[in-house]
Structures are given as C-alpha cells and as structure tokens.
Amino acid sequence: MEILRPSLINISGRVYRRNTIKEDQYEEGEEDDSYMGPPASEPFDEDEEFCDSHSIEQTDKGFSCAIDVPSVLYKYIIGRKGETRRRLEADTKTDINIPKQGVEGQIVITGSQKAAVSSAVTRVELLVQSFRKKQPFTHFLSFALNHPQVQDGFLRFKEEVLEQCSLDHGVDGSIFQNPAKLHLTVGTLALLNDLEVTQACKQLQHCQDFIKTITEGKPLPLEVTGIEYMNDDPAMVDVLYAKVQVKDGSDKLQAIVERLVDHFVSSGLMVREWDRVKLHGTVMNTLFRKAASAEAAGGRQNMKEREAFDARNILKSFGSYHFGGFDLNAVQISQRYSTDSTGFYTSAGLLNFS
C-alpha cells in the first residue's frame, strides 16, 4: 500500500482507510482469521462516532443492531476457530450473533452501550466490504448484441476468418463467442444472495429517468462495426472485440453506461474498475478454447494456461468489418454462467428505454 495514497473504502458515505490484510492459505472448512480494526491491546473509544447506516435500537438489556450479510461472508467475520469474532466482541464489548453457515439471515450485534454496538457494526461492515471484493462476480449489467442481423454478420465473420486465417497461431473455431450470447458488458456485480439480486433490480429501475432523458424515450440505433484487441501485441491476443457506435455519432451510449456505473457504484453493489468504461462486444476469447487440458479439468481452463492467438492477419483483413445494426432498447442484469430459452444469458432484471 502506498503511504501517501492509501486504499480507501466508502461505506454509506463515509470513507475509511483500508489496512493491508495478510491472508493465510487454509484448507477447505477452515475459516480465515483476518481482522480489520485496532488490536485488542488498544482500548475501545466510547466517543467513537455512531454508524448511521443501520438502525440501532434500544432494548431492555441495552442496544441492538441487525445487519444483512450474505451467508458466504460469515466465515470472514467468524475467523479461524472463531478468533475474529471473539476479538471483535472483546474490543467493542458487544455480542455478535451469526446465523449458521449457509443459512441466510441477519447478524445481530448487541451491547450495553450504543457507541459499542455502532463500532462493532462499522468493523463488521469493513470486513464484509473487504472480502466482498474478493468474491467472483455472479451477474453483470449488459446490453444484448444478439440481434438477428448482428448474429448473421458475426457468423459470416467467423466463417471468413476461419477460411483465411486458420493457419495463424492459435486461431480455431472454439475461441469464437456463441452468437446468441453477443453482448456489451457495462459492469460486473457480485450478488451473493437473493436479497442482493432484488436490491440490484430495484437500483436498475431507479435508472429509468436518466436513461429516458438521454434516449428521449426511444430505442438507440447502433452500428456494430470494426474490431480491436485488448492487449499491446497483436501477435499475442487473448480477446478480440467488436466496436459499437451510435448511428448518429453521438456519445449517448457512453453517457448511459457511465451513469449506470456511477449509480451502481454509489449504491455499493458495484466496484469501479476503470475511470471510463471501454465498450466492447467480445467476438473471440481464448477462455473459450476447448483445449484438452480444459476438458480434463472439467471445462475450466487455468488462466495461466491460456494460449494466445495471432490476430495480425485478422486485423488486417477484417479491421473495419461490419457486423450489422439494430435498435438497442434495454439494459439488463444478466446472470453469469446461465442460458435462457433464446440462448442469451438469463435475465434477473430488465429496464426498457421506451
């Protein structure tokens, strides 16, 4: 961590410095003992500010606060053999009740002092926020590019590339995208239980006003034309993507994307990865490669074993390839590793432009 530019975490409008956590490697079934907060030797500050993102209620025995935490994150609050929870309880002079592993529910924090409960809530949230970022994404905000015209153009592209460039290193039919799943990714989401999926769908609906303002309540005419690659060496490419533009040359699509990301980041459901979202529709990806090693591993390919392909001839011959055009009329929350009746990703939520 840089001393002058420490990593920060934003929780409910407040910014906290994130301390570096040393993660231990442990076997399945063991719990992580990482902990964020002052060591047990430091006294608890009775004047610590209250956490105002949750309601702390007064009870007959003191104060209580219930917070929603996905069950997959319980282990980071419990720690190995319960050590993290015990330290939290000792430092804040509270009791932390956690549901059984795999059971969705609320973590309930109780204590005799309101400040103590508030401190425990904040520290639990810091743990949750830190380890949430390490969870693989489950959903993503997307625009479907699988319009019939674009699919037809993509299939022609695939056929012509294989006819002309199949002798180039790493180029084969298995690394092409499934035409039914052509899409633009706006941003990824780690939605760890049904409640968070519901919250994400509600947040998407809250985007209706600014989207309709930008699109004037009409579908957005798009052109899918040209290809580009992700890395710096066209001879060693892992991802080749199609470029997407609004037909009138405006930046309306980019404006919608940036507003969507801003909204979901501010809601706490998305982590900002880039200052500006790079719109790309993946057409070739070496993760799709049906290598023997991937099949032997049950269909999962090790990222370190990805075999790049030489895209120089593809870029030379198809750099301005026209896949087709269509009217974009919706943004949706797509579920990763899923397929609906049309062949596209299963939608958890959808917002129409018109």
For tokens 């009746």, name the residue. Answer: 341
What confidence score (pLDDT) does residue 11 get?
56
pLDDT at position 329 is 97
Indicate the pLDDT class of residue 200, thresholds 50, 70 and 90: very high
Q: Is the pTM of this model over 0.75?
A: yes
275 C-beta neighbours (distance < 10 Å), count = 6
Given its phi and psi angles, is residue 212 left (phi above 0), alpha (psi -120 to 50 degrees) or beta? alpha
Per-residue b or e along 298-315, where b marks 16 or more CB atoms closer than 10 Å to that residue's CB:
eeebeeeebeebbbbebb
Measured torsion, CA atoms of residues 82, 88, 89, 92, in degrees rounded to the nearest 10 = 180
d(CA 170, CA 306): 10
Using 50, 70 and 90 to split pLDDT, how confident is the model at 181?
very high
Q: What is the pLDDT of residue 193?
A: 94
Radius of gyration for the chain, computed over Cα atoms and rounded to the nearest angstrom? 24
How would you classify the pairing of strands 220-229 and 239-246? antiparallel
Please report the pLDDT score of residue 305 as a whole number: 73
Least confident of 23-27, 216-220, 253-257, 266-270: 23-27
Q: Which residue has the tokens 């018109």?
A: 354
∠ CA 97-98-103, rounded to 5°: 145
**Lowest-pLDDT range of 129-133, 186-190, 216-220:** 129-133
The model's confidence at residue 194, banded by pLDDT at 50, 70 and 90, is very high
pLDDT over threshold 90, residue 309: yes
Give pLDDT, residue 25. 41
pLDDT tens digits for range 165-178: 999 999 999 999 99
Q: What is the pLDDT of residue 195?
A: 92
Mean per-residue pLDDT, 260-288: 92
Q: What is the pLDDT of residues 7-40, one digit of tens each?
A: 555 555 555 555 554 444 433 334 444 444 444 3
pLDDT class for 260, splitting at 50, 70, 90?
very high
Rounded to a whole number, what is the largest CA-CA distance in the chain?
78
More confident residue, 231 or 327: 327
For residue 54, give the nearest of 138, 104, 130, 128 by alpha carbon. 128
